[in-house]
Amino acid sequence: MLAVTVGTPLLQAEQACSLFKALADPIRLQVVEVLSSGERCVCDLGADLGLAQSRLSFHLKVLKQAGLLQDRQQGRWTYYSLRPLALQQLSGWILQRIEHAAKPAAPCG
Amino acid sequence: MLAVTVGTPLLQAEQACSLFKALADPIRLQVVEVLSSGERCVCDLGADLGLAQSRLSFHLKVLKQAGLLQDRQQGRWTYYSLRPLALQQLSGWILQRIEHAAKPAAPCG
DNA sequence: GTTTCACATCAAGAAAACTTGATGCGTGTG
DNA sequence: CACACGCATCAAGTTTTCTTGATGTGAAAC
């Protein structure tokens, strides 16, 4: 068996599910895409994505609660960035599903 | 820049979103876990997971429409299995987000 | 050809997630 | 201190997704 990831703790299905739920929204995916080029403050995110403030705040909260984002407060501004470990773990969970997926079923009847 | 996946076509955000939505449900994640050990017929899946037939059928449809599952009909039975490519592509999309994620923001004000 | 079996599909209701506008709260600014 | 700014939170309404039970369909069994 080939280890897919190195030194990354493995995810339970339940944790994976939380991460998938957090990513299962087009707006949150845009947020992740923007943040994938580096940290941003909320006001920049709102401007970039053209979102009402409360709407963006809602989605940031979902992503943060899932563990996908971290935030840092500096003066009046809050900066969000990705948590690479969470992404890495989720990717690991997915890749693990592939290994024996090709095994054909025993005929049922 | 280090290429994370080799020879796998890249996913658009919209396609990634469909995949995430399909995986954003505990039952569907169980289905994926069971199928990760190989192909199964629907009746076995239903028995393994203890799900009403129509409920299982609904979730299989969601997963299949997203491109995560393929099915094969043989006699009276239908066999489902994972589509490794879809999983691989999704994993690739995730890993791509990590690369520059650590870059700090320019101070906002 | 009728019955049975494995599964898909449908319609109606229930539950969960999302949006919107209003309000609250902490932190700087004058 | 009063005010403005950046952001979080809340409540209400809307939309989406999920569940349930009933019905439909095609393939084998009789």
Q: What is the mean pLDDT of chain B?
A: 93
Task: Tell me whether residues A95 and B87 touch, CB distance under 8 A.
Answer: yes
Encoded amino acid at A28, one letter: R
Return the pLDDT at B5: 53
CATH number of the domain located at residue range(s) B13-98 in this protein: 1.10.10.10
Residue B31, pLDDT above cutoff 60: yes
Mean pLDDT of chain A: 93
> How far is residue A90's CA from residue A84's CA, in Å, rounded to a whole number?
10
Cα torsion through B52, A93, B103, A37, rounded to 10: -50
**Is ipTM beyond 0.90?**
yes
Q: Please name the residue of chain A whose CA is at the shortest distance from the CA of residue B76.
A: A109
Residue A17 CB in 7 A reach of strand D: no
Q: Is A7 left (phi over 0), alpha (psi -120 to 50) or beta?
A: left
Q: Which of residues 43-102 of A touch strand D (CB under 7 A)?
A: 43, 46, 53-54, 56-58, 60-61, 71, 76-78
The pLDDT of A1-16, averaged and rounded, is 76
Rounded CA separation B97/A32 (Å): 7
Whether B80 shows a pLDDT value over 70: the answer reads yes
A57 min Cα distance to partner chain B (Å): 17
A13-96 placed in CATH 1.10.10.10: yes
What is the mean pLDDT of the segment spanning A57-76? 97
Please tell me the distance in Å from B28's CA to the nearest CA on chain A: 9
Contacts of A84 in chain B (CB under 8 A): 98, 101-102
What is the C-alpha to C-alpha distance for residues B66 and B77, in angstroms, rounded to an integer? Answer: 22
Q: Which chain A residues have a beta carbon less than 8 Å from that of B35?
A: 97, 101
Quick check: A103 pLDDT over 90?
no
Does A72 have pLDDT greater than 70? yes
pLDDT at A94: 98
Q: Is the Cβ pair B109, A44 closer than 8 Å? A: no
* pLDDT above 70 for A6: no
Domain-wise residue ranges, chain A: 13-96
Q: B16-25 pLDDT, tens per residue? A: 999 999 999 9
Q: Which nt has its C1' nearest the CA of A61?
A: D8
Average pLDDT over residues A91-97: 97
Q: What per-residue confidence (pLDDT) applies to B2?
A: 52
- Shortest CA gap A94–chain B (Å): 6
Above 60 in pLDDT, residue A1?
Answer: no
* Confidence category of residue A24, pLDDT binned at 50, 70, 90: very high
By C-alpha to C1' distance, C21 is nearest to A54
